[in-house]
Structure 1
Amino acid sequence: MLTNIPGYPRIGSQRELKKACENYWAGKISLERLELTARQLRKENWTLLQDAGIDLIPSNDFSYYDQVLDMCVTLGVIPSRFRGLQQTFANPTCPELYFAMARGYQKNNFDITALEMTKWFDTNYHYMVPEFEASQQYALHHPKCVQEFKEALSLGITTKPVLIGPVTFILSGKIKDAGVGYTQLLEKLLPAYIQLLAALQEAGAEWIQLDEPSLVTDLEPAVRELYHTAYSSIRQALPAVKILLTTYFGSLEDNTALALQLPVQALHIDLVRAPEQLDAVLSALPEDKLLSLGVVDGRNIWKNDYAISLGLIKKAIAQIGEDRLLLGTSCSLLHVPYNLEDETALDPEVKQWMAFAKQKVAEVIALQQIAAGDDSLLAENEKVMNSRKTASSIHLPEVKARIKEITTADTQRHSIFPHRQVLQHSVLQLPLFPTTTIGSFPQTTEIRQLRADLKKGIITQETYNADIRNAITETIYRQENLGLDVLVHGEFERNDMVEYFGEQLDGFVFTQNGWVQSYGTRCVKPPVIFGDVQRPEPMTVAWSRYAQSLTSKPVKGMLTGPITILQWSFVRNDQPRMQTAFQLALAIRDEVKDLEDAGITVIQVDEPALREGLPLRKSQHAEYLEEAVKAFRLAVCTVDDATQIHTHMCYAEFNDIIEHIAAMDADVITIETSRSQMELLEAFAHFRYPNETGPGVYDIHSPRVPTVAEMEALLHKAAQLLPARNIWVNPDCGLKTRKWAETEAALRNMVTAAKNARIQQLAVSF
């Protein structure tokens, strides 16, 4: 059996790529230095996989920012608003255009907004959304993947280039012009794809991986036809090219026959998320196709249970033989950290149950060896699996008992929203179009150093607390000077919106270097939930109480919701995920009650990942959404009617879950809408969303400062869709990644836009 890795992390074990990119943007290093860092990282990955014994080593899984953005630039899918910049920087390898599409561009007499960004299927990885315009002409614009294949070849390593398949690429984007359909778009894109595949074949690529995860989703008949057209055209044009069609994140189900009929040499399936699909695939696999078994989890950090994986492998061997099988990870290892060996402070008991990217590669090789008859690694693995099942550190009887005591009353507010709204308006006394932010303010170098110094013992807890109080004080005064209506304390004590809470909850452990890419250079270090969760003591109350003491304006208490903590952690896989979600909800519920008792009248419980957790198949939506909404309501429904509950969601399509968002019954929801020009708000309007809404009026993921006119225009659109009395004014997301100068400039413009909107609305009213 050959071994196959669909993709490998690219940021570097110490986030070398993040640091290099950000230093390049800041003008601290040259383009040559950035490219040198990239080459070093690629070489390290290729060498590691070759030394481990992997047969199909990926290339072109590297990206400076995002693999979907790479495909856009490769094929010339460049929106018209970038054409002037494209002409200015005519060299297609110049990064100015590439990074402008990712981050926006506001210099050299240009002012260009970035591409939209949304989640990659049901992961926490954000990709740049392609924009397809009728005027675009597609061709091999930038042969990055060919260059990287040749780069590996020069090192004596033959790789398997990885590309997003044509149908998934189309489905991941947005068609901007009416009258252009998928069929016409595919016809225009296919010659560029074929040109690219031909260039790879000419360069010496034996295998080419085309990722088509859309095959594990519900597909319309027209989309199924796209698959037939795309792959038949590729096979006709390039009969000798060997394609490994790669699916992941779920089961093929009703797309099984479609996937097996496509004229490709091999099919990869995810047997971690969907082991049940193996029987159907084996029974219908054509004799001329190879099958790649994704048996090692590419999305979680728990050690592989060899006995379970071997059961699947042996079943496949018995039916089609070893020669037609490949063994690999379920998906790209992009979603897990680099190397468990870098963790020197983890609890040894928990560490023995874990595997990061490097260890998962070793697991693939180990399974290959065990399947070939070497049982020496099997006994040790079985010992580790048994130790986890019986560990007393995992199970807390008092937590399990509390879960059993949950009643329907625990998930209901005392009164319906219209009644609560009257009380809240009376208490808060806010103007029309009230302004606020999503929670965090810039995490400066000084603030990050402060936390690092406390961790290292360089400063005392008392010194740290005093400095954090000073940062909160300054931020409250800044917000008052800007004229914001509902303030926040800034979250300077928080390293991450999930990690911060996990550090104060039982059942979590944390890594030193467990970084994974969220988007671009934004890296997160997900907590690890290994056992039952509970809150030993209040987590945020002291900081919120202090911030509120500085101002007569309301200050929001800021919490992360149970589903987001669940989604953005590496979650234990020894019990149902929703069991863990309800444990988290009870912990947050205790914190919400303590904040209210401390006099906090506005409490925000963020759930940006609720949509992200939606199963890829519609048949599974209802059960997930019912339980996710229940978890949120369990967390917040302890408060009185006059206490205003906010939540925040970002970078998601809301149309298919709007009823369940309404069922969450938050008094105010803030959402990302600026990059889509309020397009996402239409779902709330069509549904007649009853509660209050804060559509984001500017994009915090870009350093550009939006004008007052831009934000006024967006508010005007919002007021045409929703009742003015229900509209809040806020940025798209938290401001921790921004600088103070651009933050204050943007917020000043935002407050001015809100004031102008009030005047306009009052004029209309009279």
Structure 2
Amino acid sequence: DTNYHFIVPELGPDVNFVYSSHKAVEEYKEAKALGVETVPVLVGPVSYLLLSKPAKGVEKTFSLLSLLPKVLAIYKEVIADLKAAGAQFIQFDEPTLVLDLESHKLQAFTDAYAELTPALSGLHVLVETYFADLTAEAYKTLTSLSGVNAYGFDLVRGAKTIDLIKAGFPSDKLIFAGVVDGRNIWANDLADSLKTLDTLAAIVGKERVVVSTSSSLLHTAVDLVNETKLDDEIKSWLAFAAQKVVEVNALANAVSGNKDEAFFSANAAAQASRKSSPRVTNEAVQKAAAALKGSDHRRATNVSARLDAQQKKLNLPILPTTT
């Protein structure tokens, strides 16, 4: 549900997949050469197909999941190359698991990872979900996947998932707890995040809780240090990608018993400042909003009349736009 475009794959029964882009492997090697051990991230095979659509001329009823064997053959090649390059970890993003999926689609996840299990041998494998809660059926499917060592959850947009974890979680797996919001530019409420982490630690043990962001940090700006013209009050409310990594680290240290009290106190002060600042809270606006009646939410004229009036007054040209 993000406001991001992506190029939707258009597929059909005769499509042939080719391992033509080695981007994941080359970027892993580049980082490794600089002394940085990274976790290669791939769109999961099932989400890739579920986010695709039938190509032009292909029946709309065509089952995209019927292409899974072809897709998995390519994934095996990528995994083999990553292992050969020295990768120890691999992450598959399967955001479609948060949708209300039919049983045959959930079965596709089970089948896909069972097929990939031999190829994944020797790797630490994380399957990430994000943007919402999982259904009970999807949670059961996810936590039963073969060849997977850890599961990631968006605990900002999907806080109810904790109830599923309470009801049962595999004793030999890790939880990547997405408590730092990866989709906005605001500093996290660290005290609130720590409560969530403590709850998880009480359920599965703190040694099996890995602090994480709720999603990829591609949705936010890069580094607050570049914002040299913001005043200090507003700046204290913000956290871009670089700052969110610091928040993750601070929370991880707190869970392990090394809480930075000064850092947490500064965060609490910033949270309180944002809630009480007149830049955010305007009593006059609140009173005006509270006084609104039902009729205030309806225009005096319909859209056709407004369009006609605007054209007569402004005579604006057609302006192609997108979001």
1:249 aligns with one of 106, 127, 131 = 131
CA offsets 1:311-363 (integer angstroms, 9 cap, x no match): 11112222222221211111111111111111121121111111111111111
Counterpart contact for 1:167–1:230, Cα < 8 Å: yes
1:208 is matched by which residue type in structure 2? I
1:320 aligns with one of 201, 204, 209 = 204
Instruction: Report the Cα offset of residue 414 of structure 1.
Output: 4.6
2:99 matched to which residue of 1?
217
Larger of the two Rg values belongs to structure? 1
Separation in structure 2 between the aligned mates of residue 397 and residue 416 of structure 1, nearest angstrom: 32
| 1:98-497 superposed matches below 5 A | 122-176=1-55, 177-178=58-59, 180-254=62-136, 255-263=138-146, 264-375=148-259, 376=261, 377-414=263-300
| 1:603-622 superposed matches below 5 A | none
Say which SS state the counterpart of residue 160 (structure 2) adopts.
helix
CA offsets 1:680-706 (integer angstroms, 9 cap, x no match): xxxxxxxxxxxxxxxxxxxxxxxxxxx
CA offsets 1:158-197 (integer angstroms, 9 cap, x no match): 2110110011111111112227413321122111112211
Separation in structure 1 between the aligned mates of residue 256 and residue 37 of structure 2, nearest angstrom: 25
1:104 matched to which residue of 2?
none
Separation in structure 2 between the aligned mates of residue 335 and residue 389 of structure 1, nearest angstrom: 24
2:287 is matched by which residue type in structure 1? A
Separation in structure 2 between the aligned mates of residue 282 and residue 153 of structure 1, nearest angstrom: 38
Instruction: Report the Cα offset of residue 237 of structure 1.
Output: 4.2
1:733 matched to which residue of 2?
321
Instruction: Report the Cα offset of residue 415 of structure 1.
Output: 6.4
Say which SS state the counterpart of residue 152 (structure 2) adopts.
strand
Instruction: Report the Cα offset of residue 732 of structure 1.
Output: 5.1
**Stretches of structure 1 lacking an aligned partner (at least 5 in a row):** 1-121, 429-485, 488-544, 549-553, 557-729, 735-766
Say which SS state the counterpart of residue 222 (structure 2) adopts.
coil
Separation in structure 2 between the aligned mates of residue 328 and residue 238 of structure 1, nearest angstrom: 23
Separation in structure 2 between the aligned mates of residue 286 and residue 155 of structure 1, nearest angstrom: 36
Counterpart contact for 1:139–1:191, Cα < 8 Å: no
Separation in structure 2 between the aligned mates of residue 154 and residue 411 of structure 1, nearest angstrom: 59
1:253 is matched by which residue type in structure 2? T
| 1:685-724 superposed matches below 5 A | none
Separation in structure 2 between the aligned mates of residue 266 and residue 302 of structure 1, nearest angstrom: 27
The verdict on how the C-alpha distance between 1:318 and 1:129 changes in structure 2, with shifts beyond 3 A counting, is: same
Counterpart contact for 2:12–2:64, Cα < 8 Å: no
The verdict on how the C-alpha distance between 1:378 and 1:232 changes in structure 2, with shifts beyond 3 A counting, is: same
Say which SS state the counterpart of residue 142 (structure 1) adopts.
coil
Counterpart contact for 2:206–2:255, Cα < 8 Å: no
Say which SS state the counterpart of residue 295 (structure 2) adopts.
helix
CA offsets 1:467-520 (integer angstroms, 9 cap, x no match): xxxxxxxxxxxxxxxxxxx69xxxxxxxxxxxxxxxxxxxxxxxxxxxxxxxxx
CA offsets 1:124-171 (integer angstroms, 9 cap, x no match): 221111111333211322221111111111112221101100111111
1:733 is matched by which residue type in structure 2? T
The verdict on how the C-alpha distance between 1:138 and 1:731 changes in structure 2, with shifts beyond 3 A counting, is: farther
1:262 is matched by which residue type in structure 2? L
Say which SS state the counterpart of residue 281 (structure 1) adopts.
helix
Instruction: Report the Cα offset of residue 373 of structure 1.
Output: 2.2
Instruction: Report the Cα offset of residue 731 of structure 1.
Output: 7.2
| 1:638-717 superposed matches below 5 A | none
Say which SS state the counterpart of residue 193 (structure 2) adopts.
helix
The verdict on how the C-alpha distance between 1:407 and 1:144 changes in structure 2, with shifts beyond 3 A counting, is: same
Separation in structure 2 between the aligned mates of residue 180 and residue 199 of structure 1, nearest angstrom: 32
Say which SS state the counterpart of residue 108 (structure 2) adopts.
helix
The verdict on how the C-alpha distance between 1:731 and 1:218 changes in structure 2, with shifts beyond 3 A counting, is: farther
% of aligned pairs identical?
A: 37
CA offsets 1:61-87 (integer angstroms, 9 cap, x no match): xxxxxxxxxxxxxxxxxxxxxxxxxxx
Counterpart contact for 2:11–2:64, Cα < 8 Å: no
Separation in structure 2 between the aligned mates of residue 424 and residue 330 of structure 1, nearest angstrom: 42
Separation in structure 2 between the aligned mates of residue 175 and residue 132 of structure 1, nearest angstrom: 5
Counterpart contact for 1:206–1:242, Cα < 8 Å: yes
TM-score computed with the length of structure 1 as normaliser: 0.39
Question: Which consecutive aligned stretches of 4+ in structure 1 deviate over 4 angstroms post-superposition?
Answer: 413-417
Q: Considering only aligned residues, what root-mean-square deviation do their CA atoms show, in Å?
A: 2.5
1:373 is matched by which residue type in structure 2? G
Separation in structure 2 between the aligned mates of residue 414 and residue 142 of structure 1, nearest angstrom: 56
Say which SS state the counterpart of residue 286 (structure 2) adopts.
helix
**Stretches of structure 2 lacking an aligned partner (at least 5 in a row):** none
| 1:550-589 superposed matches below 5 A | 554-555=315-316
Counterpart contact for 1:211–1:245, Cα < 8 Å: yes
Separation in structure 2 between the aligned mates of residue 237 and residue 395 of structure 1, nearest angstrom: 55
Number of aligned residue pairs: 316
The verdict on how the C-alpha distance between 1:343 and 1:317 changes in structure 2, with shifts beyond 3 A counting, is: same
CA offsets 1:646-699 (integer angstroms, 9 cap, x no match): xxxxxxxxxxxxxxxxxxxxxxxxxxxxxxxxxxxxxxxxxxxxxxxxxxxxxx
Separation in structure 2 between the aligned mates of residue 369 and residue 237 of structure 1, nearest angstrom: 34
Separation in structure 2 between the aligned mates of residue 389 and residue 414 of structure 1, nearest angstrom: 35
Separation in structure 2 between the aligned mates of residue 342 and residue 148 of structure 1, nearest angstrom: 25
Separation in structure 1 between the aligned mates of residue 292 and residue 111 of structure 2, nearest angstrom: 53
1:617 matched to which residue of 2?
none
The verdict on how the C-alpha distance between 1:231 and 1:732 changes in structure 2, with shifts beyond 3 A counting, is: farther
Counterpart contact for 1:251–1:277, Cα < 8 Å: yes
